[in-house]
């Protein structure tokens, strides 16, 4: 296995490990976040989203027929108008209880904790009526902040069969969705809810005991009867005897406020649909109905719901690791719909509540977060690979273009990747051209050498022909050596093995011109060197840069007619140095200039007096100049000579 292939395999393995690590981090982070949202949603405000969804579904699910076991005697506006202003005398309530003797249990959702000095005998009258009925439940009011308990008057409390807590438990948005069937007190016996007390008073002891065993956990009300889903009779009509007593036989009867001005109206989930609050006595009726028919909406505990919310997040994370971005988006959207639909169906048909908000947020975050992290890992991998290609010299032709887009945006990286692909494609084409060139131009002189040797050994050639054969062999061998030498220098110029040092261009150019003085004299030409500055420092590999300038001066001498002058000039600009090499040769057309720096490109090879060469010299010059952060241009015209300009960045001494 070659070294590049091994490096690519190592890089791919590193990328796979990075993607795997990113997936683990994203998955664990989002699962922990979802678990925290599910567990602490009430403190983080997430519960509000669950409440909105819950209320919307429940408002359409409350469509069961009215319960036949529960009757409400309503203190409505008509009764107040007929009996008189509220509050009424307690003797009036005693008369009502006399009409409810056949009821299974009677719950008076009326607070009797103050004396009435105007009618001192009414309390004893009501107490006797409560005792005669035998199954009356009176309310307690528990203050959750001070833990104080508002009790009925002792004479009434002693007559009642049971006492029950009617304290309302509002959620954070002020809506009543649940009942706490057993209220914890800092000291003393826990308080049973009014619903439990009603069951106990009505003789459903086993059912009451099972509700007590549920501990202090709250129970979600189904509100299955909806608003007005119970048999309701006005207080005044029951009191006047217009409603037969048989109507209440064996029924749970709740007596409470129904009038709008008495302040016992509270928002419930059904208010989403009706826009109206619900009377407190009707909320108690819903709780009693759920207790009798086991119609509560079940739900797991807080931490169990948090674990359930994590499951779709884990599922999507597992799938996203193996899916394309488009399919990942589809799976994420489908999972969100499944969470909503599943929660809706469970609440609508199974009376089971699973809060969806934490799971929805977790799943909604997966796709953008995973796309961000996986994209970042992939882009960093691309950056490393592009940097490696640049360091290896595989992208020298595009370095300037890529440097112009130095930001780290996705578009810039896509441009860099596109340029890298173009560069590699160009390199592949150049390799094919090089192989074809070598297979032809390098094999041709070698075949000629072999043919001459075979001809010399197989025939009795005269001595004069012997010298001519050796001369041809030497010429072909030199041609091959020059080709190999140019190829090696170009390969080294494109490699990363540069020995950069601080160099003075003025001294370097003067030395290069002196080295080519014999060649110029041989062609009866002159070399003129002019420098505007004595100190022109650059950061350069002295051998490579000197060879590049030597190639330019060598070409200028060879392509100039005898007796001409080659001019080399060093000048200063604001941020760089400019070196020009000017000849008086035959010049080049625009089409030839466009291909001038391509490897193995030579023009006018069949022209008389055309200098020999491999077509690699100017490609070497461009590669060296690019490796030094500079640029090279040519200005030429047919019959008017050529001027090569090299621009190199300054290095202040």
Nearest Cα neighbor of 288 from 174, 202, 206 is 202
β strands within 331-450, DSSP E:
352-353
At residue 398, the pLDDT reads 45
Query: Dihedrals φ, ψ of 188, to 5°?
Result: 95, -175
Give the angle 185-186-188 at the CA atoms, nearest 5°: 65
Please state whether the peptide bond connecting residue 434 to the residue before it is cis, i.e. omega within 30 degrees of 0.
Answer: no
Residue with tokens 């947020």: 361
In contact, 35 and 29? CB cutoff 8 Å: no
At residue 11, the pLDDT reads 61
In contact, 513 and 568? CB cutoff 8 Å: yes
What is the C-alpha R_g of the chain?
A: 49
In contact, 486 and 502? CB cutoff 8 Å: no
Give the span between the Cα atoms of 192 and 106, in whole angstroms. Answer: 16
Nearest Cα neighbor of 625 from 468, 534, 498, 531 is 498
Nearest Cα neighbor of 100 from 299, 226, 255 is 255
Q: Residue by residue, what is the 3-state secondary structure of 9-64?
A: HHHHHHHHHHHHHHHHHHHHHHHHHHHHHHHCHHHHCCHHHHHHHHHHHHHHHCCC
Give the span between the Cα atoms of 628 and 122, in whole angstroms. Answer: 110
Q: Profile the chain (653 residues) by mean pLDDT over runs of 10 residues.
A: 54 74 89 91 83 86 71 92 90 93 93 84 92 94 76 92 89 88 75 92 91 78 73 93 92 89 82 81 91 88 91 90 84 93 90 92 91 80 72 51 54 70 68 60 60 63 61 63 59 65 90 89 89 89 89 87 90 89 86 74 54 69 88 88 91 67
Give the angle 238-241-245 at the CA atoms, nearest 5°: 75
Quote the DSSP letter at residue 279.
Answer: E
Distance (Å) of CA 100 to CA 66, 78, 157, 179, 631: 21, 20, 19, 27, 107
In contact, 363 and 336? CB cutoff 8 Å: yes
Nearest Cα neighbor of 396 from 163, 232, 197, 620 is 620
Give the span between the Cα atoms of 603 and 483, in whole angstroms. Answer: 16
Give the angle 233-235-236 at the CA atoms, nearest 5°: 110
Structure-block tokens of residue 32:
């922990």
Structure-block tokens of residue 6:
């091994």
At residue 36, the pLDDT reads 92
At residue 498, the pLDDT reads 73
Residue with tokens 């079940």: 298
Give the span between the Cα atoms of 446 and 476, in whole angstroms. Answer: 7
In contact, 542 and 508? CB cutoff 8 Å: yes
Give the span between the Cα atoms of 560 and 568, in whole angstroms. Answer: 14
Structure-block tokens of residue 439:
């297979």
In contact, 621 and 642? CB cutoff 8 Å: no
Instruction: Give the H or E element holding residue 501.
Output: strand 501-504
- Beta-carbon count within 10 A of 159 CB: 22
In contact, 26 and 373? CB cutoff 8 Å: yes
The CATH number fitting domain 498-649, selected from 3.40.47.10, 2.60.40.10, 3.30.565.10, 3.30.70.100: 3.30.565.10
Domain residue extents for the chain: 3-39+300-388, 55-296, 498-649
First to last CA, the chain: 47
At residue 402, the pLDDT reads 46
Positive or negative torsion for Cα 260, 261, 263, 264: negative
Give the span between the Cα atoms of 455 and 525, in whole angstroms. Answer: 41
Q: Determine the 3-state secondary structure of 275 from DSSP.
A: coil
Give the span between the Cα atoms of 282 and 225, in whole angstroms. Answer: 10
- Beta-carbon count within 10 A of 423 CB: 21
């Amino acid at each position: 296995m070659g070294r590049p292939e091994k490096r690519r395999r190592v890089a791919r393995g590193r990328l796979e490990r990075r993607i795997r690590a990113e997936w683990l981090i994203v998955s664990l982070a989002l699962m922990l976040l979802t678990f925290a949202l599910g567990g602490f949603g009430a403190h983080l405000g997430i519960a509000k989203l669950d409440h909105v969804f819950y209320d919307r579904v429940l408002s359409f699910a409350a469509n069961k027929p009215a319960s036949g076991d529960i009757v409400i005697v309503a203190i409505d506006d008509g009764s107040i108008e007929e009996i008189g202003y509220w509050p009424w005398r307690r003797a009036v309530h005693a008369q009502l209880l006399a009409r409810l003797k056949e009821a299974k249990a009677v719950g008076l959702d009326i607070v009797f904790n103050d004396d009435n000095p105007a009618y001192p005998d009414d309390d004893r009258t009501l107490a006797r009526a409560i005792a005669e009925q035998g199954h009356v439940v009176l309310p307690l009011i528990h203050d959750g902040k001070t833990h104080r308990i508002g009790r009925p008057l002792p004479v009434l409390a002693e007559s009642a069969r049971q006492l029950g807590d009617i304290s309302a438990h509002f959620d954070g948005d002020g809506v009543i969705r649940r009942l706490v069937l057993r209220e914890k007190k800092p000291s003393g016996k826990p308080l049973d809810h009014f619903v439990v007390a009603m069951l106990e008073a009505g003789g459903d002891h086993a059912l009451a005991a099972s509700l007590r065993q549920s501990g202090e956990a709250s129970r979600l009300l189904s509100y299955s009867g909806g608003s007005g889903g119970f048999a309701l009779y006005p207080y005044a009509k029951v009191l006047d005897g217009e409603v037969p007593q048989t109507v209440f036989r064996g029924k749970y009867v709740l007596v409470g406020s129904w009038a709008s001005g008495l302040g016992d109206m509270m928002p419930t989930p059904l208010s989403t649909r009706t826009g109206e609050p619900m009377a407190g006595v009707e909320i108690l009726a819903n709780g009693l109905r759920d207790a009798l028919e086991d119609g509560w909406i079940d739900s797991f505990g807080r931490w169990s719901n948090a674990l359930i919310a994590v499951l779709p997040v884990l599922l999507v994370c597992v799938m996203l690791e193996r899916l394309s971005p488009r399919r990942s988006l589809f799976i994420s959207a489908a999972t969100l719909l499944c969470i909503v639909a599943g929660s809706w169906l469970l609440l609508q048909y199974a009376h089971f509540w699973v809060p969806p908000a934490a799971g929805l947020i977790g799943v909604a975050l997966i796709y953008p977060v995973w796309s961000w992290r996986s994209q970042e890992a992939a882009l960093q991998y691309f950056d490393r690979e592009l940097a490696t290609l640049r360091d290896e010299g595989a992208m020298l032709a595009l370095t300037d273009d890529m440097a112009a887009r130095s930001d780290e945006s996705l578009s810039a990286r896509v441009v860099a990747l596109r340029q890298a692909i173009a560069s590699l494609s160009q390199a592949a084409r150049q390799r094919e051209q090089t192989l074809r060139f070598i297979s032809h131009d390098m094999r041709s002189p070698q075949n000629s050498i072999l043919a001459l040797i075979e001809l010399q050994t197989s025939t009795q050639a005269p001595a004069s022909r012997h010298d001519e054969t050796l001369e041809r062999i030497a010429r072909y061998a030199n041609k091959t050596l020059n080709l190999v030498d140019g190829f090696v220098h170009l390969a080294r110029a494109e490699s990363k093995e540069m020995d950069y040092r601080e160099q003075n261009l003025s001294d370097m150019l003067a030395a290069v011109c002196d080295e080519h003085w014999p060649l110029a004299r041989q062609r009866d030409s002159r070399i003129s060197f002019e420098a505007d500055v004595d100190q022109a420092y650059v950061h350069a590999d002295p051998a490579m840069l000197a060879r590049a300038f030597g190639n330019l001066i060598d070409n200028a001498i060879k392509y100039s007619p005898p007796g001409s002058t080659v001019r080399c000039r060093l000048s200063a600009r604001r941020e760089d140095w400019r070196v020009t090499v000017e000849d008086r040769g035959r010049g080049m057309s625009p089409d030839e200039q466009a291909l001038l720096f391509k490897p193995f490109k030579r023009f006018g090879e069949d022209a008389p007096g055309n200098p020999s060469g491999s077509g690699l010299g100017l490609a070497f010059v461009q590669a060296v100049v690019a490796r030094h952060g500079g640029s090279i241009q040519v200005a030429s015209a047919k019959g008017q000579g050529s001027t090569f300009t090299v621009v190199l960045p300054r290095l202040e001494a």
